[in-house]
Each structure stands twice: as structure tokens, then as C-alpha cells.
Structure 1
């Protein structure tokens, strides 16, 4: 590409740093993590989360293991203010979790922010002031001296208001916003001034967050900026250096990792890289990068598929199938040479071996993924396109994750049989895997019952040569069926599609479910002229598949629950 104006853009200037030490260092421990999904992530969504969804996401973040969570900009809206109040008043905050809230350096916003935190056990008040010349000159029209004075007066006000709430343990975070495009000397001076105004000490540290608000250069330049600050801050020993990287150049994770080498101790970001513009540092990717180097990230990603599906549901943003670690296809090989190498690597593994399998940087099982979809059949490997044949020959358009799951069964059949698998054999295999399951649970019939606030179902099933009559109430027939079965099942997705037309038209229903005590998720499929019947059949199919996946003890426990119902 030849720009029409060659001098329209100019290269980012080098950092005045000699004898840099970060290139010789390695990361040996996880940083302090802060999730900003509920603040930066939320304001980046097409439709901001409603209070119930916000609470679900907050609880999800605590289960993953985040100990610091930026929950809102409470002075920005009544919705954000009320959410902070509900977290505190309704005791949703675990004792080991600290909430953080954001505010500009403006008196009325700070007062409103501090009001929102009344009664909190511990809270981080995060204030920011832009220090980049272009922002000071064109946006805020303030001199550097005026910006420092504004920040210092804001800190003094926070100290005064905090003193009036002595039951709360207060921490302060300051961000020289647009640090990545700021004069380093000015960023240093304002950070030291804030530390002095707060009275920061080595025992009561100020969090100094140095954000790449806009990613302007290569990650090594950002690392130089962080090392320069760590060397030159007057009150460095009384500070926790934090970073908040954005992904404008596609290197947010790399920049955050190099920043840790350069002296940073804390990382802010979002699940799966959500955030404004191109997003924030992806904390899932960064945490698992540490994990693959033998470092405990302190975050629990052992059920990564469930985490991804829940994040997709809440945010409305899909996790790309090629997303590092979490994508549906990242552990799937289509190339014949890749398939061969993976097979040989898996066959060579012995119990207790260090993980060293070609093309797989992490053991999928560590993330709650199975091995079935590692090697898949498609036209690239000479065994035919499973999804294509199922659609063109049988009208069955499978959800993408079901394609991945079913291809494992196809691969096993292909390995046992050798040669091609015909379209007819493919359908027979699909029916065996999903439609003809008769044990242990056999669908015998159902009757819907209308209720004022939902829908009930009277369900008849066969179990151990006995007939059971079950009933349940839910917001629809699927939810009612799940309640009728009385098992600890979680429904993650539901889809329905027509598979034929005319008088003999049938519908296919697909459910993706998990069960407590059973590792991973699986699909159930139902096919029937009636879509409600197809949906109930899909739930029964899924339960039978989950019970087949369960250990003997869990299976026995679940069967007893069914009999008790």
C-alpha cells in the first residue's frame, strides 16, 4: 500500500533507555489480575449488560478466581451506581475479592463514586487524568501543571471522603491515561505527585496503572516505557505498577507480557480480549500462556468451553473458532500430516510424561476438552466432508460444535473400517450416536400442561424395565423437562432446524448440556414431526450420553436420583 501522503504518519520515537534489563528476564510468577469486563468490557458492547447479566458475569469472574474486579463507573449512570450498591448491600462480594470503580478527576463524580461504595469491606477507587500532549492540548485544553493540580486535588478529596468511611479498607489507583503516548517525564512527575498526596508507603501502596490506552508501537517499546518509569519514579517502592494494554496493533498480550519483564506487577484486561475498539489484553490467553510454561496463573480455566459459552451468551460476542486455547477448532487437525504427527505423539505418551505432543501446546484435557476432536475427517485428509455429506445427503445442518463432537465418532469408524465412509453409513452412525439411544433412559411419551407463569410437562420414561412418571415446571418445554428429570443438568445451547419439507417434514432439535460430576459437555439430538417432541427427545438423548460419559459412581448416583423423582 502506498499512502497518498507519505509523511502523514510518523514512526514512534524510541524511549531514552540504555542498559535495558527486561530482555534478559523471564516471567516466573503470575501477576495480580484485575478483570475489567464489567466496566471497560461492558461499555464496549452493542447492548450493555442488564443488572441480572452483570451479576452473573461478576459471579463467573469470582469463580474463575479474580480477586480484583473493576465493576462499574458508578458516577456515569444510575444503573452503574445501583449495581455497585446491590453488590454491597446484598452481600455478593466474596471476602477475598476487592471491587474497583472508576472516576474522572472531577469533584462531583468523585463524591458520587465514594457514595456508591458505602459499606464496602475493601474498595479500589480508580481515577485517571490524560497525560498525552494531544489530549491535553486539543481535548481538555489544560497545561501539564493544571493536570497535576487537578489530580492532586482529586486525591485529597478522596482521602477526606475515605476518612469519613473508616470501616472500609481503601486503596487508590491512578492512571495517567494515554500513557503510551505521553511524555515519560510528565507521566513520572504526576504519578509521584499523586503518591505524595495519597501518602503512599511501602506498606500502603498506590496502584499506578500505566495504560497503553492506544497501542502505538511494538511491544518492546512499551516494555522500555515501563522499565524507564520503574527506574525513575521517586516513590517506586510505594507503588504497585499495573498495565492495561489495548490491542490496536494486535499485540496487547505480548505488550503486557513484556511489561511484566520490565517491572510491572499487575495486569488489567478482559475475558477473551473484549474491550473498546480492538479490545483489551485477553486474560484467558495470557493466563494460559503462563500455564503452558509451568506457571500457575491463579485462574481456573479447567472448564474453558463452559466459560466461553457463558461469555458468549452474556456479551453477545462470539469466541472465534481459531481463538487461542478457547476456539472450537484450535485442537482440531484437518491436515493429514498434522493428524499423523498428533496420533504418533499421543501414542508415544506415558503416564507422568511432560506434555510434548506435536502441534498441541497444551493438553486439551486440562481445559476440560476431550481428545475426540483432535483429529477430524474432512476432504483435506481424503476421507470426505462430514458436515457437507450430512447436509447434502440428509438435510441435517449440524451446529458447529456438534460437527466437532460427531467427527470424533466418524474418525473412530474410519480408523476401524479403513477407506471411505458412505453417506448412508454416516447417517447410520449419527443415528446410533444420538437418535437410537435406548439405555438407560427410554422416552415413552409426554403431555404438556399450561401454567400461568410457565409451562409444565408430564413425562413418561422407561428405566431398568420400569416405567416412571415424572413432572416438572419451567419457562418452556425444555426447561420443564430438565426440572422433571431432577438431575443437575445445565443447558448451554439449543437450536432447532427443519430437515425436510412437505407433508412428511421433520424437525431436528439440538441441545448442548453438562452435568455436575461429569467432565465436559455433550450434545443431544431429537428428530420428530413435532418440534416440542423433538426437543424433549434431544434432552433425553443428551442425558443418556452424559450418563455414558460418567464414572460408575456418578452414573449410579444419577440413576438413583431419577428413580427418586
Structure 2
């Protein structure tokens, strides 16, 4: 039986940390409402103590949506107090508190010890739990933490009341098989692990964020922390649309989400426009070229049966249709297809002559559009019958 994966969206917190991509509170509310419609289970709305604007955004998003709303904190009393206040109107509030778990962070960020970090983590979870909301604990830099200590830390915070434990690959260091083994190790060595949801939060510094997230889910994690378009610190976070479509495409994993995938392209465009951050054309799922075909071999195969080169129906993610891009790499099949769409029915000899002229023009212009084809037809001294 397929198991549900909770989708925790941090576009409005981790995603908004991208330089130059800050949003107003009103803009955040618009995106939050769309995320709720999309089927996201929890929206991380901000870091309330960091600024009055972030505090206000958490308040207004809490008022605007019925889905879970999360506020980030450090493992400090003042952070947790402010977060609880900001979440006052949330129908399902969550405080996301935590501390570094790797020896690198413990020594060089906190100038502390494992023992003190463990004590601080337990205190923070207990204090947040007393606020009457859900509590998620993040073991920052878990991707580089000593596994035995990480297991000890996870067990302690669950015992203290953590509802969710986030095991983040904060620096994007892990490889998929190693990250998967990390999650597996926790399930095998944390006695009370079934009393909490294990969450994965991966960064893309080595381009592994989505692969690591899937590896974590395959090894027992049941919450994925993601952003629209994979935006986020440095090289970004795990992409929501990629995780959703991996699980939808690979049904053999027996994992599913509540994501309404047909809204993905719309939401990708909205976030890109509001944050003034273009989506790279070759971005999986939502990039401009994700369903575009320009190679003649690919175009011919696609026109015969789209499944030859597409594993996803573009309509499933809200893209109206695939596209055939005419370039000097295109073949006769693609040219004939486009001409037929324009109302022309060239025979073989006519198509051969048109194709020669097409290649000359394509080498010059790089990409051929319908106006160029009309020009070619009108200037090719052969009879082309029109429908």
C-alpha cells in the first residue's frame, strides 16, 4: 500500500534567502495560498525573530491558510517565544528549532561540546513543546555529523517531545547512497524513532539534492523539505516539482504526495516572476525546454509516439503541450509536421526541396519560426497545395 510523503515547503523561508529575491508580506500570502491549493502539507513561513517583516509574514500567512504553518527558530528562549507569538493564529502551528550536529559546527560555529549541544537541543524541544504547537527539530549539518552522536541526538529530542526530526544535508555534501545509509542507520539505531516523522532537507551544492531526498525517502523518511524551482541558499534546495514527479512517475516506490501536479508550472512561473529569479531553460519539469524537442532523431521519434522521448505528459504538470523547435538539427519529419499545422501538404519531392532551403535558412537564423516557413513556401519554386 502506497505511503504518504508529507511535503514541507520552505520557499518562503529558505528559498527567500536568495540574494535579491525578497518578498513583501502580501506577496508571501499570495504564494502561501497557492501552495495550500497545490497540496503542500506544511508551509515554512519565515524566521520570526530575524526581522519585523518576517514576524508579520508568519502572522499573516497563519491567518490566510488552513494548512500547517511553520516558524524557524534557533534553540534560544527568545526565538521560541517570538515564534509562538507569530503562530498564534495558525490552525496547525509548528515551531522548527534546532542546533548544529556535526563536529565542525559544534566546534567552529558554537565553540561548544557534544554534551552541551545535546543538552541545549533537549531543552529547546521541551520548551517549544510547552507552547502547545507541533515541534520539529533540525540537526543542522547532519550530513557530516558523526553517526553515533547523531543517533543519540535524534533519540534524545524525540524523547523530549519532537514530532518531526529533520536530518538535513545542510551543505549538500552527501552522495545519495551515503545519505540513504544515514537515514537507514537512524532507523536501525534510534529506539524511539517510530514516535516521530523523519524529515529530509537537502541542498544542491553538488547537484544531489533531489537524488539525496529520494534516497532518504526510500530509507524511511516520510517528510521532504523542498522549494518551488529548487531555489534557496547557495546552489539551492531540493525542488518540490522534481520530488513530486519522481514519486508520481516511479509508482514502484509505493510513495505518494497530495501535490496537484497540474498546478506545478503555474506556481513555478508565479514564484519566478515575484522573486525576479528566472528558471533555467533546462530545469527539470518546469524549464522552458523540459518538453521541447529540437534534434531530428528525437523529433521523429516523438512524433511517432511521444513516449519515445517523454516520460511525463506535459499536461500533468500544467504545461499546455510539448513543442517541436525547428533548427538545423531538425529533420524532414519535424518540418513536414509544422507545415501541416500551417495548412500545407507537401509531397515527397516538394518536401525535399523545401528541406534544402530550410537548412540554409536554419544555419543562418538558428531557430526557425512559422513566419520563416511561410517565407520559404512562398519563395520555393514548387507547387505546394494548401488545405
TM-score range for the pair, normalised by the shorter chain length: 0.7 to 0.9
Alignment match, 1:43 = 17
Deviation at 1:367, TM superposition (A): 2.7
Task: Tell me which of 186, 205, 217 is aligned to 1:260.
Answer: 217
2:163 pairs with 1:174: no
Give the number of the structure whose residues are more often helix, by fraction: 2
Q: Residue 6 of structure 2 contacts residue 257 of structure 2 at CA under 8 Å; is this kept in 1?
A: no
| Structure 2: gaps of 5 or more residues | 362-368, 376-387
Q: CA separation in 2, counterparts of 1:416 and 1:361?
A: 31
Instruction: Indicate the SS of the match to 1:39.
Output: coil
Q: CA separation in 1, counterparts of 2:37 and 2:326?
A: 36
| Structure 1: gaps of 5 or more residues | 1-26, 163-169, 201-205, 347-356, 387-406, 432-565
2:311 pairs with 1:361: yes
- List structure 1 runs of 4+ shifted beyond 4 angstroms: 407-411, 420-423, 428-431
Alignment match, 1:93 = 65
Instruction: Indicate the SS of the match to 1:125.
Output: strand
Instruction: Indicate the SS of the match to 2:44.
Output: strand
2:264 pairs with 1:309: no
Q: Residue 178 of structure 1 contacts residue 211 of structure 1 at CA under 8 Å; is this kept in 2?
A: yes
Q: CA separation in 2, counterparts of 1:372 and 1:194?
A: 48
2:158 pairs with 1:188: no
Change (3 A) 1:372 1:247: closer
Q: CA separation in 2, counterparts of 1:38 and 1:68?
A: 11
Instruction: Indicate the SS of the match to 1:416.
Output: coil
Aligned residue-pair number: 356
Q: CA separation in 2, counterparts of 1:124 and 1:142?
A: 27
Instruction: Indicate the SS of the match to 1:381.
Output: coil
Higher relative CO (CA 8 A, sep ≥ 6), structure 1 or 2? 2
Alignment match, 1:498 = none
1:326-374 deviation line (CA, Å, top 9, x unaligned) = 111222221111111111115xxxxxxxxxx11111112323334462x
Deviation at 1:430, TM superposition (A): 7.8
Task: Tell me which of 99, 102, 107 is aligned to 1:129.
Answer: 99
Alignment match, 2:287 = 327
Alignment of 1:69-148 (within 5 A): 69-88=43-62, 91-94=63-66, 97-148=67-118
Q: Residue 151 of structure 2 contacts residue 186 of structure 2 at CA under 8 Å; is this kept in 1?
A: yes
Q: Residue 7 of structure 2 contacts residue 41 of structure 2 at CA under 8 Å; is this kept in 1?
A: yes
Alignment match, 2:182 = 225
Instruction: Indicate the SS of the match to 1:220.
Output: helix
Question: Larger radius of gyration, structure 1 or 2?
Answer: 1
TM-score when scaled to structure 1?
0.59
Deviation at 1:197, TM superposition (A): 2.2
Give the number of the structure whose residues are more often strand, by fraction: 1
Q: CA separation in 1, counterparts of 2:72 and 2:139?
A: 13
RMSD: 2.7
Change (3 A) 1:408 1:331: farther
Change (3 A) 1:380 1:34: same
Task: Tell me which of 332, 345, 351 is aligned to 1:416.
Answer: 345
Alignment match, 2:301 = 341
